[in-house]
Every structure is written in C-alpha cells, then in structure tokens.
Copies of this chain bind each other. A is one copy, B any other.
Amino acid sequence: MIIITQPHATETQLEHIIARIREFGLDAQVNRGASRVIIQVLGSVELAREKPLAAMPGVEAVVPVLKPYKLAAYEFRGGASSVPIGNVSVGRTERVTVISGPCSVESEEQILSIARTVKKAGASILRGGAFKPRTSPYSFQGLGEDGLRFLAQARERTGMPVITEIMDARDLPIIEKYADCLQVGARNMQNFSLLKEVGRSRLPVMLKRGFSATINDLLMSAEYILKEGNMNVLLCERGIRTFESAARYTLDLNAVPILKSRTHLPVVVDPTHGIGLREFVPQMSLAAVAAGADALMIEVHDSPELAKSDGEQALTPDIFEEMIPRLRAVAAAVGRQL
C-alpha cells in the first residue's frame, strides 16, 4: 500500500499518519518529494488491507499495490489449475469441456432424455436445476430433492457427472448426496455465508459472476471458498447488466483472458444467459472458445416452449448438435480440442 499526501499536508498530519500505521503493527517508509510525501506501508497484507487510511487528514490517495486475493491469484499456483468434476477434469489441459442440460429438472423422463441427447452430441457434464432462484415468488421454484434424484438417475444411465445449484447453506447435505459439483448462482455470488459453507464441502464449486460484479469481486468471492479449504473452484462468466436492452445481458468475453491472467482457476462461459436469445447462442459459444474459455455451459431443452423456465434461450437438441462440430473446429484453431 502506498499513501500519497496532499501537496500541503502538514508535518503534524504526516506524523499522525505514520503513528497510525505503526499502531496497526505495520511499517512506514517515508519518501519526501518536491511537493508531496509518499509513504510505503509495509507489513502483512491482511492488516494493511483493513485500514481506512484514506480517511485521515492530509491523505490524497491510497494506492493498493498488492492484489486483494491470494489463494485465487495466478501466482499462488504459478500455472493453471484443473478441477475434477466426477470423472471429468476441467481446466489446464487443452480440452474444452461442454456442460449442458435444461435450466430446470422438470421430470425423470425430461432430464434423462436431454442428458442422452447432449451426451451423444458431445457434452460431458450434465446440468439441471432442482432449487431455482426465481425473480418472482410465483414462478416455478424447482422440484427440490425429487429433481436431485432424477439428476442422479440420469448420471447412472449416462455416466455424466452432474452439476446443480445450491441456494441455501442448509441444503448442502442433501445436494452433496446426489451431485458432483455445486453451482453458486449469480445472485448469490456475494452471499458470503453460502460461500463459506460450500468452501467446506468436498464437492467442487462453480461460482457464477454476479451480473454486476467486477472481475475483482468475483475473485474475492472465490477467495472466500478457497480460504475454507476447498481448492476446487471454477469461475463462470454469464453476462453483466449494462444499458443495452437488445439482449438480456451483455456477455463480457473480455473477462476470459483477464481472468486467465489473474487466476489459476478454470474459466467457464455461459453464453445462454450471456445473450439470452436462443438464435445467437451458437455464435457466442464459438466466440467464448476463441477467447480462451476452458468450458462452456449451454442450456438445451427438447421443447423450449413448454419449459418451466428460460424457454426463450434454451437451444433445441438439433441446434445444439449442429453447433458442436463448429465448436470443435474453433477449439482446434486455437490449439484446443472439445
């Protein structure tokens, strides 16, 4: 942390700032410039981050020079990590993983039928929601444990590991019974109690970026999970809120290379929510792979107009199947494979 004083900061203010830094158990290295004094604060990151030094008289700016996250930082591993989801490993290798399935699990037949379809086309992980976060309390809220059971049955029959959303820390034991990977949704990205809880799970966690969370916020939320000891975290870009209303969200593909330079964690992209319009999901899927995504999460529904949620954006099985060879070609073009 570097503190820059105002041009006319007094000696008394300066002494006060330095005294405070020392009280905090930190060290201060003072450099007097022509019109300003620059103070380097040395010591433990955790201590330094906490202190509201910008509130002190005479201070113009506080420049944090250390990243606020440690375990999530690229430097912590010095390379990319891979995260195992059942028998599938995501990240680090040149493989691009396709995660697919319906928004919600609606019935035993539905999830099994879609699972078979997407597996055949090329997906290797099955998604499906049993507990659904819905903006309206009057909307379909998911099948709960039944949904989890149907998911697990689909895994038995297809061999695909399953990922499903956790909305409430109290549901962890039951979800752990059935699922291979936990998903923390965008609306819960800063539900810190939930983050701590999944940080103590044995299951990997896919953390979706809040639709108005910065890339740094996302990494800080990942840090919450990592700090509890669960190192199997995947980050998922799924669109942010902007002024543009032509699409449901603005898929922020800038986040892909930026995340990959800052963290060792695998980066997943969800083009389905990121654009929210079925007809454009294939192009955005191709773009995500070209930008460097380690995995894609794509909603497929065999009868979107009957879907209990997100019908407008789910791909039909034939669009999904038709897209896979193009994904393979783009993956190959950037030195990866599907």
Contact = CB atoms under 8 A, between A and B. Distances in A.
Interface of A: 2, 4, 20, 29, 31, 33-34, 36, 38, 40, 42, 45-46, 49-50, 52-56, 60-61, 63, 65, 68-69, 133-140, 167-170, 187-188, 190-194, 196, 210-212, 214-217, 220-221, 223-224, 227, 240-247, 250-258, 261, 274-275, 277-280, 283-284, 286-292, 304-312, 326, 329-330, 332-334
Contacts of A291: 283-284, 286-287, 290
A38 B2 contact: yes
Contacts of A240: 242-244, 250
Contact of A261 (B135, B279, B309): B279
Nearest to A309: B52
Contacts of A212: 210-212, 241, 243
A220 B136 contact: yes
A52 B312 contact: yes
B254 A307 contact: no
Nearest to A335: B326
For this chain, the copies found in one complex come to 4
Given A65-B36, A253-B284, A139 B312 contact: no
A54 B251 CA distance: 22
A55 B313 CA distance: 8
A269 B20 CA distance: 33
Q: Tell which of A56, A210, A305, A310 has the most Cβ of chain B within 10 Å.
A: A305
A215 B191 CA distance: 21
A52 B214 contact: no
B214 A193 contact: no
Contacts of A31: 31, 33, 38
Contacts of A187: 190-192
Closest 5 CB pairs of A and B: A52-B311, A212-B212, A31-B31, A329-B333, A187-B190
A188 B193 CA distance: 10
Given A220-B136, A243-B212, A284 B305 contact: no
Given A242-B243, A290-B290, A220 B135 contact: yes
Contact of A190 (B135, B217, B224, B245): B135
A275 B140 CA distance: 34
Given A257-B283, A280-B257, A243 B246 contact: no
Nearest to A138: B46
A20 B305 CA distance: 9
A167 B138 contact: no
A223 B137 contact: yes
A277 B257 CA distance: 11
Contacts of A330: 290, 330, 333-334
Given A68-B135, A245-B245, 10 more contacts: A31-B31, A49-B139, A52-B311, A53-B305, A55-B312, A61-B63, A135-B190, A188-B191, A210-B212, A329-B332
17 contacts: A46-B138, A50-B140, A52-B310, A52-B312, A55-B311, A56-B305, A68-B136, A137-B220, A167-B193, A240-B244, A242-B242, A247-B254, A253-B253, A254-B274, A287-B291, A290-B330, A330-B334
A332 to B, nearest CB: 7
